[in-house]
Structure 1
Amino acid sequence: MQVTEVVTTPVAIKYRPEYQADKRYYPKPAEQTNVIIEIRTDDGTVGIGEAAHAPGIYGETAGATIAGIEYLAPAIIGQDPRQITKINMAVDRLSPVGNIAAKAGLDIALHDLTGKILGVPVYQLLGGRVHESLKTHITPATYEGTADDLMDLVAQGYRAFKQKMSGDIGYDIPLVESLLDRVPDGIVLSLDVNQGWSVKDTLEVVTVLERRAVHPRNVILEQPIDGADIRGAARIRNATNIPIMLDDGIRTAADLRRILDAEAADIVSLKISRVGGIQRCLQMIKMAEAANVSYIVDEINEMRVANTAVAHLALASKAPLYTGVACHLLLENDIVTGGGVWIDKGEAYVNDRPGLGIDGLDLTAVAVPAADA
């Protein structure tokens, strides 16, 4: 069996209206543009993957990903798709650094394809299912209606939230206080700053939180400062008992090793789409576990194909605090017509069908010309 073709389709889907008023630190475009990848074999089996993009943080775009996949395709075509490690090694020889979104989408497609060939779900390729379901966070928009939106989601059963910050502590502190005044005990509220604060700002927020009598223990400080400032993160961690989660600066195993060596994080957020695929993310999960550092298996601007891959990895992992597989619910449309990850009362589930367990895609209304991606 051999790979005969790698096909890319850029898709663009608008965010729901409340996210158009979003005041987070880095700009959020009106629509999300990702790339659906199909890896086809000589016997007609097709594996699907998704390359997700966060241009405001990492700079990669759909157009760059398509060009990257065209460049990387010679490392894949003609290969046995079941040899995922061998193919990833060949891809890395062509592109040791960069093309992270492209690598992630290709790796997801290879896992889906191999699962279909062997007749097993992706989680089985990763050592088997550990959890029947996992708590997933969801992201309310950061705007004047945030508290009401978050409470609506609590009523739907969600118990973990990635709440984006604006980067202006004059706006952020009252927002956080208003949320903590309303959310019940037991809700996880990760304040995702996406590098928007300074060390001084973060310590000021910490002072406010530590003075609160109600639910400050529910809070996680997620990537409050520049992702490259590991020393600053360690300083913050040593100044407070509020857990520090690092995120945006983790793109390679070497990045994670530096954070672990510096004891700069209580929790690390590990993302398939940010580190170059399932296999690379699994390596980082094992590193965190070996260092006794907590972790979440997370998403970044993903549609339901990539969210499903995240769910398979999370459910096959030993002890994630929770996962993040709800990003596709922030969009107006869903490209998946059946199967894939689903969420019930804030818990993420996948089915037992081969590969990702996705029955079909409908890209007709959302596909865009490659020249416009």
Structure 2
Amino acid sequence: MSDTGAATTPSRTDDELSLAEQWVAPNYHPLDVVIHEGHGPWVTDVEGRRYLDALAGYSALNFGHGHPDLVAAAHQQLDTLTLISRAFHSDALAPFCRDLATLAGKELVLPMNTGAEAVETAIKTARRWGYLAKGVPAERARIIVMDGNFHGRTTTIVSFSTDPVAREYHGPFTPGFDIVPYGDLDAIRAAITDETVAVLLEPIQGEGGVLIPPDEFLRGVRELTREQGVLMLADEVQSGLGRTGYTFACDHEEVVPDLYILGKALGGGIVPVSAVVADRAVLGVYSPGTHGSTFGGNPLAAAVGHAVVRLLATGEYQASARRLGARLAEGLEALVGHGLVAVRCRGLWAGLDIDPALMTGREASLRLLDRGVLAKDTHGSTIRLAPPLVVDEDEVDFLVDTLAAVLRG
């Protein structure tokens, strides 16, 4: 009731939030905003208020909302063919795989749907390669993974997570993984045995708060894995496809892994598209029936993914992420000591540690929301920023200025 005693009318936002609370399983803790539409780096809620989307679907929306090239590709394919299954060929799949492999400098593509599914595929690939190519005894293959990793939510993947929230009540877990500290090359070297088939890592740990490894770490992993005869698997689901200012985050150290794991932005924010990309010596270990997915590589996904690859092939978005990322980093670093404890920025991707005495990451996200910016917290007082690569200088400045205002209180 209001102060006058008159009944208040629930807003459309209140109605939508109530509906979500009633019918949507509570596996997320979203902010209290209900988005209705999006264009470029901006979205509008059901009340008509606009927000700069500084999360971009955890990098799934690298090209913003409704990019015209991607929407056109989807519309054209929707009118033609959406699914045939891999029991037959489609005229959309092979050109997509050819151009994605070319972009990555590899020979073969195995298309899947979600990022987690691509990680699972990479794990199976490494094990299969270990048995068939390396000669590891049956059922003995082991994969080295990093502390603080985030590769998805499937049972096998959370088996080697070090996040208790991800693991609790989900066991028993899948064996075969050895966890070492992220960024510690000596620990990886010590963990390698004759049964090791791969080292799986994120070139930058996104969920961990955009954690950037020490200089030369990726190069060291590449040299070590080549020397020891094990595969280097790079999970570029969040860090790849232009986000950090290069096509892949591994490019910062001029490192080419044995296998790329891709997803999120590969679907342009329109459909789920993921893939593992490697040379024939790795992906050639598969034969018909040994792995598959009904929707993996479907014509609609292939058409959208192909349009994404064409956007990246120009280098325009990577260059923009480098240029605007430098501007973003400069603005954010000026806030260290003024509410921020630390900033980690690579391209248009940043992890910010807020002074915990000031506020939590969620409180900062809520205050940003009130001022027209969408962001999300992770791990206490840390928030991540990942604006679409289509932002301009004014929008980057708006993001920094808004954060500065939030920190000032």
Structure of greater Rg: 2
The TM-score normalised by the length of structure 2 is 0.31
